Chains A and B, each alone.
Chain A
Amino acid sequence: MLTYTLRRLLVAIPTLLLISLVIFLLVDLAPGSPASEIPLTVPAEVKAKMIEAMGINEPVHIRYLLWLKQFFWTEPLYAIDAAFGTDFADNAPRIISYSSKVPVIDYIAERLPQTLIVIGSAYVIAILIALPIGIYSAYRQYSWFDQIGTFVSMVGYSVPTFFTGLLAIIVFTSWLGWFPSIYNTSLRVVDWASFKQQVTQMFLPVAVLALFNAAELSRYTRSSMLENLSQDYARTARAKGMSERTVVLKHVLRNSLIPVITVITLGMPAIFAGAIVTEQVFKINGIGAALIGAIHVNDLPVVQTIAFITAILIVLFNLVADILYGILDPRIRYD
């Protein structure tokens, strides 16, 4: 298992480097010098520092290496400094957002938690709903439960979140007034009241995202379970006198989860993309909103960084999927 994991890890690194190069070049080679996009409102000495950090006057391969250095050296040093009060970074130049004039990483770090909290809880809820429904629908194929489940998830999966989102806002916020219409990004949960407020404002976006993802996941779970329920080993387990519970929840589920877990892990980066839409609809000031904003004002460092973070997430979750796959399936682990 260790060699397997190490091998996967070694494959991930060149992948990540390649993606970073592509993202860098795409933005870098876009018409116009990156420096020319720096707004005039930026003070001259800040601009000078940014040019130094990005190496704007250097050849392209140096600029790329400087950019990587920002990610994998300078910013981690700043993060350590911030955490332990040390001074490793030694005032090294950082990439600054053109529009907000704070370091890009700080800017993103401020936005990311909102997104993670909404997406994370939506995804967890989706999994918690989808697995039992998928398992039970498969076990009772063509029952009422299964048929209703099939219908609901077809609808849930085929209607996009911006539509269900708007519908939910119209019904529950405008007509019924159950939820606040403004998402307060700066809300800090410190006590019961603020916790309640946070839950209330999160409820609709989380519900919309969760239902959408649950629809898809429950279908996957169902079909994977169905495939495995009719396998010979399930019959063997029954022939051994195992209870239905053991047959379904141990033998069949363990096999069925292999593809489902892959779908769950690989789907995580994709729901970030979905969250961009949801954040627009519910006016959540998260990473999606940051990206859209940055694109509008040509804030290249922010766009580049968010794109790269997304790429890191994709590679990371691929790695996680591979490792989970290895844990769940001995045939992979021992190849």
Chain B
Amino acid sequence: MAERAAPVLEVKGLRTIFRTRGGEVHAVNDVSFHLNRGEVLGVVGESGSGKSVTMMSLIGLLPAPPAENRGGEVLLGGRDLLKLDTRALQEVRGARVGFVFQDPMTSLNPVFTLGDQLMEPLRKHMGMDRTAAANRAVELLELVGIPDARRRLKAYPHQFSGGMRQRVMIAIALACDPDVLIADEPTTALDVTIQAQILELVKELRHKLGMAIIWITHDLGVIAGIADRVLVMYGGQVVEQAPVRELFANPQHPYTRALLRTIPAISGPREGRLKVIQGQPPILMAPPAACPFRARCDYRHDRCDRENPLRRAVDGRPVGQGHDVACHWTAPAPVAEVIHA
């Protein structure tokens, strides 16, 4: 299997904090994961669980201050990105790692043409001249399904719809043939049909170009459709990690199971209202010394208050390679027990 080959990206023990007036916010706590060549890694978790902050930390995209890295390694092509200076990091961003953000309406610069914004990374990273960059830009726009591309180079973002702008964002992220594409909720701001189109586009591009993708979303339905493997995040840590089928078939963490119950069932009897998880994700003012989910967990016991669970293998394979979970329960409580109105 692909797991045997060296991963494109490997993150080990990443920690990121924010210095705020109220003290330090520990947003990323000891996050480790890897990304294999050509793989789509889905990242799920509620709002505030640290998905964006984790991914932005990888390539130094967080404003510092207030953000500050507190350790870990981010290995890409044999180099630790956390140790690179600004210049070297700039050569990685947009070239080796492409980023697509959530809101296509604000992510493009309103006063420059799409062509200009698309050609910028080409000229910087690939050293192309104007003509070469323009030709490549046309190619890219066609690749992401924008018709009449040559003429569109002169258009401004406001002349495009949200879906079209997101296509342009994807074209920008893919401009320099990156090894890794990080898509941070790229479809959340779009309506459902456009969402489906963008998903199709990315699936198609993935097969055409073969890059590895990190796809952040709230939507487990999207994960089921696109991801090979899933990372579930909570309180700035990875609470469960598994191949996508395994995760849906055999969720271990109470949080994952709660998330799965929030998906509306399309077939079968409706059990009344959609279930929501009660409470809010925590804002951690200190490194977690106990399980971050304990306040909302139906299976809380005294060990959860004393000790933050480490990730442990569920299926016998090493942590990160197969299915693993960060929960003190070794045998998950039967699902039936959890259902309550």
A and B associate in one complex: yes
- A: residues with CB less than 8 A from B are 231-233, 235-244, 246, 251, 254-255, 258, 328-331, 334
14 more A-B contacts (CB under 8 A) besides A239-B98, A242-B120, A254-B111? Answer: A232-B107, A233-B106, A233-B109, A235-B61, A236-B108, A237-B109, A237-B120, A240-B93, A241-B91, A244-B86, A251-B112, A258-B111, A330-B111, A331-B158
CB contacts under 8 Å to A, within B138-187, are 156, 158-159, 169, 172-173
- Please indicate which of the listed interface residues A232, A236, A243, A328 has the most CB atoms of chain B within 10 Å of its own CB: A236
User: 7 closest pairs, A vs B, by CB?
Assistant: A241-B94, A240-B94, A241-B93, A239-B99, A232-B106, A233-B109, A330-B156
User: In the bound complex, do residue B90 and residue A243 qualify as a contact, i.e. CB atoms below 8 Å apart?
Assistant: yes
Across the interface, do B107 and A241 meet the contact criterion of CB distance under 8 Å?
A: no
- Give the residue name and chain of the B residue nearest to A228 (CB): B109
**Is the pair A255, B93 in contact by a Cβ cutoff of 8 Å?**
no
- Please provide the chain B residues from 120 to 134 with a CB less than 8 Å away from any CB of chain A in the complex: 120-121, 124-125
Can you offer 29 A-B residue contacts whose CB atoms are under 8 A? Answer: A231-B106, A232-B103, A232-B106, A232-B107, A233-B108, A235-B101, A235-B107, A236-B99, A236-B107, A236-B172, A239-B59, A239-B93, A240-B94, A240-B124, A241-B90, A241-B93, A241-B94, A241-B124, A241-B125, A242-B90, A242-B94, A242-B124, A243-B87, A251-B109, A254-B109, A328-B111, A329-B110, A334-B156, A334-B159
Contact partners of B86 in chain A: CB under 8 A = 244
Cα distance A81–B94 in the bound complex, in angstroms: 63
A334 to B158, CA, bound (A): 9
Q: Give the Cβ gap from A256 to chain B, nearest Cβ, in Å.
A: 10
Cβ contacts under 8 Å, B125 to chain A: 241
Beyond A233-B108, A255-B110, A329-B110, whether A240 also contacts B120 by CB under 8 A is yes
Q: Is B92 in the interface zone, CB < 8 Å from A?
A: yes
Residue of A with least CB distance to B122 = A240
Complex Cα–Cα for A257 and B242 (A): 49
B95 contacts partner chain A, Cβ-Cβ < 8 Å: yes
* Contact in complex: B90, A329 (CB < 8 Å): no
**Which residues of the partner chain B approach A233 to less than 8 Å between Cβ atoms?**
106-110
Residue of B whose beta carbon sits closest to that of A232: B106
Among the listed A235, A238, A330, which residue makes an inter-chain contact with B110, where contact means beta carbons less than 8 Å apart? Answer: A330
Task: Write the nearest CB–CB distance from B329 to chain A, whole angstroms.
Answer: 39
**Chain B residues with CB under 8 A of A239:** 59, 61, 93-94, 98-99, 101, 173
In the complex, what residues of B have CB within 8 A of residue A328's CB? 111
Bound Cα distance A152, B109 (Å): 33
Given contacts A232-B103, A235-B61, A235-B101, contact A240 B172 (CB under 8 A): yes
Contact A238 B156 (CB under 8 A): no
CA distance A237 to B93 in the complex (A): 10
Q: In the complex, are the beta carbons of A241 and B109 less than 8 A apart?
A: no
Main secondary structure of the interface of A (DSSP, over half): helix
Q: Residues of B within 8 Å of A, CB-based: how many?
A: 31
Within the assembled complex, what's the spacing in Å between the Cα atoms of A214 and B196? 52
- Closest CB-CB distance, B310 to chain A, in whole Å? 33
Cβ of B110: which chain A residues have Cβ within 8 Å of it? 233, 255, 329-331
- In whole angstroms, what is the CA distance A237 to B90 when docked? 10
With A and B bound together, what is the CA distance between A232 and B108 in angstroms?
A: 8
Contacts of B112 in A (CB 8 A): 251, 254
- The answer to whether B124 and A232 touch across the interface, beta carbons within 8 angstroms, is no
The CA-CA distance from A50 to B156 in the complex, in Å, is: 57
- Residues of chain A within 8 A (CB-CB) of B169 are 236
Determine the distance from Cα of A77 to Cα of B5 in the docked complex, in whole angstroms. Answer: 86
**Bound CA span A39–B110, Å:** 61
Minimum CB–CB distance from B154 to chain A (whole Å) comes to: 10
Q: In the complex, how many angstroms separate the beta carbon of B108 from the nearest chain A beta carbon? A: 6
**Residues of chain B contacted by A241 (CB below 8 angstroms):** 90-95, 121, 124-125
Chain B residues whose C-beta falls within 8 Å of the C-beta of A231 in the assembled complex: 106
Q: Which of A232, A246, A334 contacts B101 (CB 8 A)?
A: A232
The answer for the CA separation of A256 and B158 in the assembled complex, in Å, is 18
In the complex the two chains form, what is the Cα distance from A233 to B157 in whole Å?
11
1/0 per residue B71-95: CB within 8 Å of A?
0000000000000001100111111
| B36-83 interface with A by 8 A CB criterion | 59, 61
Query: CA–CA, A331 to B159, complex, Å?
Result: 9
Determine the chain B residues whose CB is within 8 A of the CB of A242 once the complex forms. 90, 94, 120-121, 124
* Set of chain A residues within 8 Å of B121, measured between Cβ atoms: 240-242
Whether A238 and B111, one on each chain, are in contact in the complex, defined by CB atoms closer than 8 angstroms, is: no
List the A residue with the shortest CB-CB distance to B90. Answer: A241
Residues of A within 8 A of B61 (CB): 235, 238-239
Cβ–Cβ < 8 Å partners of B98 in chain A:
239
B97 shortest CB reach to chain A, Å: 8
Task: Provide the residues of chain A in CB contact with B103, threshold 8 Å.
Answer: 232
Q: How far, in angstroms, from A243 to B98 measured CA to CA in the complex? A: 16
Q: Which chain A residues lie closer than 8 Å to B156 at the CB level?
A: 330-331, 334
Complex Cα gap A231–B106 (Å): 7
Instruction: Check A236–B124 contact: CB distance below 8 A.
Output: no
How many angstroms between the C-alpha atoms of A232 and B86 in the bound complex?
A: 20
Closest to A252 in B: B109
Closest residue of B by beta carbon distance from A254: B111
A238 partner, pick from B93, B95, B172, B173, beta carbons under 8 A: B93
Q: How far is A330 from B113 in the complex, measured between Cα atoms in Å?
A: 9
Query: Within the assembled complex, what's the spacing in Å between the Cα atoms of A262 and B331?
Result: 67
